[in-house]
Structure 1
Amino acid sequence: MVVALVVSVGLGSAGVRPGTTLQILGDHLLPGEHVASWSPVEDRIVWSFRTPRVLLAAVVGAALALVGAILQAVIRNPLADPYVLGASSGAALGAVIGLALGASVPGVFVTGSAFGGAALAGVLVYVLASRGGRIESLRLVLAGVALSYLFSAITSWLTVTAEHGKLPGILFFLLGSISSADWTTLPLPAIALGLGAAYTFWRADHLNAVMTGDDAATSLGVDVNRFRVETLLATSVLVGSVVAVAGGIGFVGMVVPHVCRLLVGADHRRLLPVALIAGALLLVAVDTIARTAAAPRELPVGVVTALVGAPFFLWLLRRRPVGSVS
């Protein structure tokens, strides 16, 4: 992970050697006097522009992979990802409303709008999926998918009716982008990821239990309904923080947990930390490709994740029995 971060920071339209990159990072992170053998332009490129972007890509990838692993266990659906419960679509709708009203990316208003959209989606899914005080897994999925379509339709309507000058920014944001990253955008998703990871590591035994079925989990002492509500809130916060700074980035949350299960098994005490690192590595690599493959133009990150990841996942399905992947 450290090697990937350093290499990614050095790559770009203006390349910086790994040794120089390490020296610049050390100058900013380590106390003491340092003799600068690099130019001010290289210092600005590495520290002000690329380092926060690469770190944000790692945080976003880790958060998406974590959400995917949680939802696939709680819902017991191999296709579950941050979009399945409508949280991602709701956050995107809120962010687009903020952008359409003239806010900047990723300004405070856009961030708050994204959180509001994710929270609204979470509340609606809970209301629609509950029956007799209990949340059913199938109703949760169906309600989430239906709300995703509804929010996506409203988002599309807002996009086509927005002012012409705002349309390129909105579309690029919806396709996923980390180009607006700076040091001010990093704390919010990093804090959300830290809290979400701490919660899921603490509840890893509950995730293992609910994968066996509601009745078995209840017999093991897990309050399944309460646990689903807790995970719904946790994933909504994570997704809202990610969409607020990076837009809609698909594929990572669905595929990374499957690949990690093939590597370390289904025990969430091992799966969760591996998924965090794998998701971070994947998005750091994808963002590096997105900003270098067609330089000086930049590709949307969400497009690259699908182009790179979908063929790999299809190859994986061909080589492995379906049961081993799901």
Structure 2
Amino acid sequence: MSPPAITAPSAGSAADTPAGEAPPEPARGVRGRLASRKGLALACAVLFALLLVSIVVAIGLGAAVITPGETARYLWAAVSGGRIAADEVTTYQIIWEIRTPRVLLAALVGAGLSAIGVAIQAMVRNALADPFVLGVSSGASAGAVAVTVTGGLAALGIYAVSAGAFIGALVASLLVYAASSSRGSLSPLRLVLTGVAMSLGLQAVMSLLIYFAPDSEATSMVLYWTMGSFGAANWGALPVVSVVVLLGLVALYRYGRALDVLALGDETAASLGVSPDRHRKALLVLVSLVTGVMVAVSGAIAFVGLVMPHVVRMVVGATHARVLAVAPLAGAIFMVWVDLVSRTLVAPRELPLGVITALVGVPVFVTLMRRKGYLFGGR
């Protein structure tokens, strides 16, 4: 469902500017607008090139270190159907079968979490919002724990935990929607409070399931999974995740102008002919679907959807079309390097991704919040 055309508030109207956010800059003429668009396109091109370099470097690093040139040669051989020497088969399998799907999954999840964070923060008008605030991540974690502890969905084999996580995310989204909706209205405050309460309740259910787990191995696996990991990445999971995340990014980008208006408040949105409730319902379905798919394959990874939108806003401004163009690339690069650190810092053991993102995200977020005048994109 594509959002209707929206007429943005006039550039010079201070009354239409949300509290704490700087008024929009006045129009700079056609040349200025073209320069701005070219600057954004250049920034995206640079980030995309940096992402490609990061992917190649990350694929080559690990217990067996392979140079970027050799890594690129193996990748090209896999894509083009080229030949490799017999004594290179083991190295080729490490590169193509193990590391490549993992690094690509990290990039997809990082891009998706960053974009979802942008959308949720605008949707609920809360600078502290992220995919966890709606209870979706907690629902996915609870579903995965339930499958692991009870042995449910055994017929799905290695995909049982992912399927349980996805079902848990959808159930949590439905519960949040049913509990926060009143007479067809979906207010931001009610949505946030319901999501937080549901998240805490689902975490309690998850803790109870872990407490009664039949063996310590299941408990250890569940605790590790709920803190985030790409250790189970494989080529079989990538197609579904790729399609859902990429389509989700396109849909969110098309909602960029609608998110601009929603961030101004419901009264302003209504005066501009935008239905806040209708857009929130559509966005809730979209972010729940994308988040559920990501958490199902990577576990719950905190702080990416919270911090990356703020970092990007400080660079490109608060216009959501610009933020949604840059945030996925920045999030993908960040997650690729986080995953690399998680599997190499204390090798052969792996650190949970949530530990690293928290160690990076907490000081960054505190620094952002302490900046004078900073609030949800303002300076």
**Which TM-score bucket, shorter chain as reference?**
over 0.9
Q: 1:300, 1:175 → 2: CA distance?
A: 6
User: Cα distance, 1:37 vs. partner?
Assistant: 8.9
132-141 vs 107-116, which moves further: 107-116
Question: Of 282, 299, 312, which aligns to 1:260?
Answer: 312
Q: Bigger CA drift: 108-117 or 237-246?
A: 108-117
Percent identity, aligned pairs only, is 43
Give the corresponding residue for 1:79. Answer: 128
* Local SS of the residue matching 2:375: helix
Query: What does residue 70 of structure 1 align with?
Result: 119
Matching residue of 2:141: 92
Partners of 2:310 and 2:377 within 8 A in 1:
yes
1:200-236 C-alpha deviation (Å, 9 max, x unpaired): 1111111111111111112222121111011111111
Cα gap change, 1:202 to 1:325, in 2 (>3 Å)? closer
**1:54 equivalent in structure 2:** 103
Matched AA of 1:88: S
Count of aligned residue pairs for this structure pair: 325
Counterpart residue number, 1:134: 185
| Aligned counterparts, 1:139-158, within 5 A | 139-158=190-209
**Counterpart-to-counterpart distance in 2, 1:262 and 1:106:** 45
Q: Any idea what the Cα deviations from partners look like across 1:107-137, whole Å, max 9, x if unmatched?
A: 3332222222111111111122122221111
Alignment-derived partner of residue 25 in structure 1: 75
Amino acid at match of 2:207: S
- Whole-angstrom distance in 2 between the partners of 1:241 and 1:132: 30
CA contact (8 A) 2:146 2:209 kept: yes
Q: Give the SS at the match of 1:212.
A: coil
Q: What one-letter code is carried by the residue in structure 2 that aligns with 1:18?
A: P
1:83 maps to amino acid: F
Structure 2 partner of 1:231: 283
The superposition leaves residues 57-116 of structure 1 with CA deviations (integer Å, 9 ceiling, x where unpaired) of 011111111110000001000000000011110111111111123368993332222222
Greater radius of gyration (CA): 2
User: Please, which of 334, 339, 363 is the counterpart of residue 287 of structure 1?
Assistant: 339
Paired residue for 2:211, among 156, 160, 168?
A: 160
The aligned amino acid for 2:68 is: P
Structure 2's unaligned 5+ residue stretches are: 1-50
Tell me which amino acid in the other structure corresponds to 2:65. Answer: G
CA distance in 1, matches of 2:248, 2:358: 25
Q: What CA deviation, in whole Å up to 9, does each residue of 1:135-181 have, x standing for no partner?
A: 11100000000000000000011112112131111111011111111
CA distance in 2, matches of 1:36, 1:62: 36
Deviates more, 1:217-226 or 1:148-157: 217-226
Match of 2:163 among 95, 112, 115: 112
Tell whether the 8 Å contact from 2:127 to 2:376 is kept in structure 1 after alignment: no
CA distance in 2: counterparts of 1:144 and 1:316, whole angstroms:
25
1:171-201, Cα deviation, whole Å (9 max, x unpaired): 1101111111111121222111012112111
**Distance change >3 Å, CA 38–CA 302, structure 1 → 2:** farther
Give the unaligned 5+ runs of structure 1.
none
RMSD between aligned alpha carbons? 1.8
| Residues 1:8 and 2:8 aligned together | no
TM-score, length of structure 1 as denominator length? 0.95
State the Cα distance separating 1:315 from its structure 2 match: 2.9
Structure-2 residue corresponding to 1:309: 361
2:176 to 111, 120, 125: 125
Inter-partner Cα distance in structure 2 for 1:35 and 1:135: 58
State how far apart, in whole Å, the 2-side matches of 1:140 and 1:106 are. 36
Whether 1:212 and 2:264 are equivalent positions in the alignment is yes
**How many Å separate the matches in 2 of 1:316 and 1:201?**
25
Pair 106,88 (structure 1): closer, same or farther in 2 beyond 3 Å: farther
Corresponding residue SS for 1:178: coil
Moved more, 40-49 or 304-313: 304-313
Q: Does the aligned pair in 2 maintain the 1:106–1:245 contact within 8 Å? A: no
> What code does the residue aligned with 2:213 have?
A
Rounded to whole Å, the distance in 2 between the matches of 1:217 and 1:36 is: 63
Cα distance in 2, alignment partners of residues 321 and 206 from structure 1: 25
Q: Distance in 2 between matches of 1:324 and 1:316?
A: 10
Counterpart of 1:198 in structure 2 is: 250
Contact 1:176 1:247 in 2 (8 A): yes
